[in-house]
Amino acid sequence: MSSAVQSPALTRVGTARRYLMCPPRYFTVSYTINPWMDPHQPVDTARAMAQWTALADTYGALGHTVELIDPEPGLPDMVFAANAGTMIDGVVLGARFRNVQRAAEAEHYRLWFVAHGAREMVMPSSVNEGAGDLMWTGSLLLAGTGFRTEPAAHAEAQDLLGVPVISLQLVDPYYYHLDTCLLVLDDSPSAPLIAYYPAAFSAASRRVLARSFPDAVIATAPDAACLGLNGVSDGRCVVLPREAVELGRALAVRGFEPVFVDVSELRRAGGGPRCCTLELRGSGKS
């Protein structure tokens, strides 16, 4: 069950979004490709499905459209749809996974994009783990590297998507994708706003973020440690893991409406709300 925190007088306006999600029908933790994953700890797939369903229902209640891709046996991390690609104005840059355990996901998602109206679909040459490491702020693309996506993929993204790119170096293996330590709160081109956890970034990248987003919300270590920054914002409502209480309070002060969901079972694989959610920006068909 989700719950909301009331916002102060400052009013923000959300916009209806279109999301791609994949049910965790085959979810388990059978290998280790990040520090969150422990194959020796039992996973409750039914509980993961219930949490995922509540997340999808939350999006629907907030007025967003959720589209689905069928999961594939043997690909337990396919539930983390954010890694499938990056879509801006109907143009999709697909995924190329670093780890062999996830490699086959890329083709399943490519076929979905082609069948559902991508204006252009290009697969990357370099390792590129999609919107997990490429985050659109409305005016520029923040691009993570250090553990998964290669720096060369940042140039590919700029060439294909035609948007400016800022490269950011990740240094903590627990925050292996950019979307585990940075959250885009407002993607309006004139006034983008983010939240982030500075300790997840190199010193140079911290300077870049501080200069580029001087009004950013700075997350605490406890909020980062529960993957609290792996949230989804529509410009007003921000869907967060239920443990991210301090972050929720900080966002409410800024006029956002935090909406808390339970993703504890999915977090066993290092994922949260945003990992399960790929925003589809631009043209497409259901």
Q: Rounded to an integer, what distance in angstroms lies between the CA atom of residue 30 and that of residue 129?
A: 20
Asked, for residue 61, whether it belongs to a domain, the answer is: yes
pLDDT in tens, 129-142: 999 999 999 999 99
Residue 276 structure tokens = 């399960």
Say yes or no to pLDDT of 104 above 90.
yes
pLDDT in tens, 52-101: 999 999 999 999 999 999 999 999 999 999 999 999 999 999 999 999 99
Asked, for residue 138, whether it belongs to a domain, the answer is: yes
Which structural domain, as residue segments, surrounds residue 25? 15-279
Q: What is the DSSP letter of 220?
A: P
Asked, for residue 285, whether it belongs to a domain, the answer is: no
Predicted local distance difference test score (pLDDT) of residue 1: 44
Backbone angles phi, psi at 31, to 5 degrees: -150, 170
Asked, for residue 52, whether it belongs to a domain, the answer is: yes
Asked, for residue 84, whether it belongs to a domain, the answer is: yes
Number of domains composing the chain: 1
Asked, for residue 10, whether it belongs to a domain, the answer is: no
Catalytic residue numbers? Answer: 177, 275
Cα torsion 220, 222, 224, 230 to 10°: value is: -110
11 confidence band (pLDDT: 50, 70, 90) = confident
Predicted local distance difference test score (pLDDT) of residue 283: 63
Asked, for residue 5, whether it belongs to a domain, the answer is: no
Q: Rounded to an integer, what distance in angstroms lies between the CA atom of residue 86 and that of residue 136?
A: 9
Say yes or no to pLDDT of 195 above 70.
yes
- CATH assignment at residue 180: 3.75.10.10
Asked, for residue 169, whether it belongs to a domain, the answer is: yes
Q: Which residues of 67-102 are buried (b: 16+ CB within 10 A; e: fewer)?
A: bebebeeebbbbbbbbbbbbbbebbbbbbbbbeebb
* Matching residue, tokens 């879509």: 87
Q: What is the mean pLDDT of residues 169-198?
A: 98
